[in-house]
A = this chain, B = another copy of it.
Amino acid sequence: MGGSVGGKRPDEPAGSGRAPGALRVLRVERPEGTRVRVGPVEVGGPGFVVMAGPCAVEGAEQVQHAASVVAAAGAHVLRGGVFKPRTSPYAFQGMGEPGLHVLAEAGRRHGMPIISEVMESAQIPLMEESTDILQVGARNMQNYSLLRALGKVRKPVLLKRGLSATLQEWLLAAEYILDGGNEQVMLCERGIRTFETELRNTLDLAAVAWAKQRSHLPVIVDPSHATGDPALILPMSLAAAAAGADGLLIEVHPKPEQAMCDGHQALTPERFETLMRRLPAVLDAVDRHLWRPESPAQVVRAR
């Protein structure tokens, strides 16, 4: 282990003004690990946190339905995208600000903090006011202007790993946010792009264990984007828990076949309930448990 982030590609000369051992993101700086506070929920402690909901906010009825389903099954945070980065300019780009109000209302009604993606600095004031976690998507992991701006935000940030980001680059992207003064950062492994094309991406669970050992940040796993296949989300969620992840980010849609975005990879409510029933036993095997408010560990403040 130790205090350095190794790098083997001849991509970039070190050229750093700090010694590597001084990186804020490394575990050596905070051996006990960072705990991130999301409303009443704590991420990074013994409690395992499940964030679930639709890929995209499509309307009030859909989100309320999804929120009631995931809340009933035991999810802790409600997810939903309102600004959607899409490969084609002609694909559905999200509901924008009105969608955010719909999501926030559903979260309030079901007592769940909400997470949504921020795509550019100009959206930060709105997102900071309305959401509980600001998510940075894989395509923006090295959007350094956005990262610097998020260093000034007073809300937690979930930083997804880029499609072809090395482990070193992932930690250094987080370093941009920490360096700006925001220490409430969660890493999120969502699959990397490899030669394999049968599945949407290749879920890199060794990256989760590596990041837990090297950094002090909580690590969340997104098996929905990683596999793109609902039949693999249950086994990959259990594997993520066993590998030491601190939580999951999962797409659930009341009617996947009608979804406007990524419906093919959303869990049905039934499959999500099965997942929530199966998780506790695996968590127990690694001395963890689903996060719950009464847990004494959660009384301790994160910072």
Least Cβ–Cβ distance between A89 and chain B, in angstroms: 5
A201-251 interface with B by 8 A CB criterion: 202-210, 213, 226-229, 231-232, 235-236, 238-244
Question: How many subunits of this chain does the assembly comprise?
Answer: 4
Interface string of A24-40 (1 = CB under 8 A from B): 00000000000000000
Closest to A12 in B: B87
Please give, as numbers and ranges, the residues of chain B lying within 8 Å of A258 by CB-CB distance.
Answer: none
Q: Does A303 contact B (CB under 8 A)?
A: no
B210 touches A206 (CB 8 A): no
Binds B, one of A42-50, A104-112, A166-174, A267-275: A166-174
Least Cβ–Cβ distance between A86 and chain B, in angstroms: 7
Q: Does A126 contact B (CB under 8 A)?
A: no
A232 touches B203 (CB 8 A): no
In this complex, the interface size class of chain A, counting residues with CB under 8 Å from chain B, is 35 or more
Tell me, in angstroms, the Cα distance from A285 to B242 when the chains sit together.
10
Closest to A168 in B: B198
4 more CB-based (< 8 A) A-B contacts, given A210-B232, A278-B285: A10-B228, A192-B194, A239-B240, A241-B242
| 27 A/B residue pairs, CB under 8 Å, sorted by A | A1-B231, A8-B9, A12-B87, A13-B262, A13-B263, A14-B91, A85-B144, A89-B144, A119-B144, A119-B145, A164-B193, A166-B196, A168-B198, A192-B195, A192-B202, A193-B195, A194-B194, A194-B202, A195-B195, A199-B206, A205-B236, A213-B232, A239-B243, A242-B282, A281-B286, A282-B282, A285-B285
B203 touches A206 (CB 8 A): yes
A10 touches B87 (CB 8 A): no
A172 touches B88 (CB 8 A): yes
Least Cβ–Cβ distance between A78 and chain B, in angstroms: 23
Least Cβ–Cβ distance between A47 and chain B, in angstroms: 18
Tell me, in angstroms, the Cα distance from A241 to B12 when the chains sit together.
27
**Partner pick for A18 among B90, B92, B286, CB 8 A cutoff:** B90
Closest to A141 in B: B139
Q: Does A140 contact B (CB under 8 A)?
A: yes
A88 touches B15 (CB 8 A): yes
Q: Does A128 contact B (CB under 8 A)?
A: no
Closest to A5 in B: B198
B210 touches A198 (CB 8 A): yes
B144 touches A86 (CB 8 A): yes
